[in-house]
Chain A
């Protein structure tokens, strides 16, 4: 029981870290057509995440891999049920990745424009679809005891699902704008600061609506009323959200970025805590819901993987933190002139 509960928590944590890291890449990519008016500004934006996005994306593979290893039944049922949205996400990520690499390789306006479009779509669509997917998981997914899915992709676009999508997009926009505040200079930076303030004004009401809507559309709050201490998660998230704005006003952009990262982690854990012990609830049949206890791997696999994760993940965090620190300064002309720059 304890082992499975630990794994449930780790599962949530890995998703949270993925959204905290690749989240600002999604945000920068979504802001890209709006803030990047000149070719130089566009390149500054791409190069602001250039050294880091690839490492960030691996958190998705790790979250996926860990779902496979620790909860194979969840991995199987979740990804086959959400077949079409997941494929859309993966194709979007493919396009985003090659767009960074391909864009600067041929000096031609139409060529660049093509990949500009894919940088936007490859960032916006995953942000939206991950939000839609998670909100639907919070509500429950129509599948039966055999893991057979009875819904269709369009039904995922229900009001609460869409609200989740919009919330994710806004969270990542905030996080991405906060990153640009750190990594840009001059006029682009002024624009980015202005945008980061505006996004916040939209994000706050959407977050509030989402918290209220969750009460009516899901049973996430049941755990909260049972264990009121969980409300601290919501409290911390709200504080982080307000701290984001506070630090932007104080021009402490690193702190603002950490605050938006914490907001994202809080949003994920708001859902995770409400789901516990369910990883993939069924809306058709409560008994069919996949939980940390009925869908996990054998104790041996869980123990081995726990050992691996507890040793390796801290090391990953250390060298990724080192890499972040390495590239924390604003993108300069010298950076753009480098042969290898995007």
Chain B
């Protein structure tokens, strides 16, 4: 029982599960804050009922996001103690700032929002939700900055047998992190938009609470359209940056073996890591990979063969993950674009509504796949170029990790099932008939 492998599995389980809840929280808080502000400004009861309905779903989701987040901060110490010692000087401070500056704000104000309906004016109550939305997204910024350091370490020097901070501003203005931030936070909004549109579609198909859900759907549609396009554009910048900073990741994303100029983009392939080639390749577009990676059809793209074997990430999950993410991303643009032209005829578009209902899982899958590309694609490094994952784990017994891993899978599986059951239950139940 290899503690490194088990710890990786455990961290993957914990983060991927945590991330089933985080993006919705990031996105929907902004949308709910907008809805509640509309209520505070216009006094229209429909916006209050909207706020309460989406708020309830958000709170179930939020609880799961919070509790699953606690374990993550501590897993760096429990399972990755060599890592923590090596980069704690830089990485630890980012986590500490996240907790003290932003997570405090979010957690304290959520209590005020939930229990403060009667104690605060409508305007003040709406403002509390803006604080929550801002704090949640700012938390995300710090965490993504920390992740950006693992992807593309900057602002440090190796001293005293560890990476020590030399330039704090270089760390927080790391271009790699900034791209992650502008890719990830709008993805949260995009996921929330599809969540809202999908559930609204369910009720519109049943022709119930038509006004409330038409309004909700249209808010989701606007947000979804803008964000799906924005996410894709930033994604392109991200790709160029990866091509420059992490050539091995790019090569794995594309299952690209031979270094060549005018590198083609392969739409589908089955990579064979032993033979160092693709078993099957379908739909090759000449020069396209060079263009996507470097915005130049003739650029030279490093192939996996020119990367030492012990520095190559696993190709298959990165390759498939990337294709799934991009495929879904494209689909989301088409769905919202089409919806934009149907926005005044939603009730006459049952097929589209049904499609949107069944599209709820799509952004979830895309986001999880995106993270798989980011994190698996970084392997075998835990901090790119300076520390390998194999050297980062704690000196603990495999059996301990096996126990906790089993615990994580059982407990998270159970809580996830209950959480999604409750969200579905309250989503179907619809808004309370009258509030106040």
Q: Is B222 an interface residue (CB 8 A)?
A: no
Q: Is A159 in contact with chain B by the CB < 8 A criterion? A: no
B68 contacts A94, CB within 8 Å? yes
CA distance A50 to B112 in the complex (A): 10
How many contacting A-B pairs (Cβ < 8 A)? 227
Inter-chain contact A94/B84, CB cutoff 8 Å: no
B77 within 8 A of A: yes
Q: Fill in one digit per residue for B88-131: 1 if any A CB lies within 8 Å of its CB, else 0.
A: 11111101111111011101111110111111000000000000
Contact pick for A147, options B55, B81, B112, B119, CB 8 Å: B81
Residue of B nearest to A296 (CB): B89
Looking at the assembled complex, report how far the CB atom of B411 sits from the nearest CB atom of chain A, in whole angstroms. 6
Most buried by B among A64, A68, A335: A68
Residue contact B66 to A65, C-beta cutoff 8 Å: no
Residues 283-306 of A, flagged 1 when their CB comes within 8 A of B and 0 if not, give 000000000000001101100110
Q: In residues 59-76 of chain A, which contact B (Cβ within 8 Å)? A: 60-62, 64-70, 72-73, 75-76
**Contact with A77, one of B76, B81, B112, B117 (Cβ below 8 angstroms):** B81
Shortest CB–CB separation between residue B228 and chain A, in angstroms? Answer: 31
Within 8 A of B (CB), among A64-93: 64-70, 72-73, 75-80, 83-84, 86-87, 90-91, 93
Question: Judging by beta carbons under 8 Å apart, are B84 and A323 in contact?
Answer: no
Query: Is B74's CB under 8 angstroms from A304's CB?
Result: no
A57, A67, A75, most chain B CB atoms within 10 A = A75
The minimal Cβ–Cβ distance linking A330 to chain B, given in whole angstroms, is: 13
Chain A nearest Cβ from B431, distance in angstroms: 11
A97-B67 contact, Cβ under 8 Å, with A83-B396, A87-B78: yes
Known: A58-B99, A83-B396, A301-B165. A68 touches B114 (CB 8 A): no
A309 in the interface, Cβ–Cβ < 8 Å? yes
Partner of B93, one of A60, A305, A316: A305
A187 within 8 A of B: no
Interface residues on B, range: 35 or more
Judge whether A251 is part of the interface by a CB distance below 8 angstroms: no
B108 touches A55 (CB 8 A): yes
Comparing B57-65, B175-183, B362-370, the segment that makes contact with chain A is B57-65
Q: Check: A52 CB closer than 8 A to any chain B CB.
A: yes
Q: How far is the CA of A340 from the CA of B415 in the complex (A)?
A: 20
The prevalent SS among residues of A at the interface is helix
**Is the pair A76, B77 in contact by a Cβ cutoff of 8 Å?**
yes
Given contacts A64-B74, A323-B108, contact A75 B92 (CB under 8 A): yes
**Are A313 and B100 also in contact (CB < 8 A) when A57-B70, A69-B93 are?**
yes
Cβ of A286 to closest chain B Cβ, rounded Å: 20
Is B246 in the interface zone, CB < 8 Å from A? no
B359 at the interface (CB under 8 A from A): no
Contact partner of B411 among A57, A64, A91, CB < 8 A?
A: A91
Judging by beta carbons under 8 Å apart, are B81 and A94 in contact? no
> Complex: how many Å from CA A50 to CA B114?
9
Taking the complex as formed, is A274 at the interface, i.e. its CB lies under 8 A from any CB of chain B? no
**B residues in contact (CB < 8 Å) with A:** 52, 55-56, 59-60, 63-64, 66-68, 70-71, 73-74, 76-79, 81-82, 84-85, 87-93, 95-101, 103-105, 107-112, 114-119, 159-160, 162, 164-166, 168, 394-396, 400, 403-404, 407, 411, 415, 418-419, 422, 425-426, 432, 435
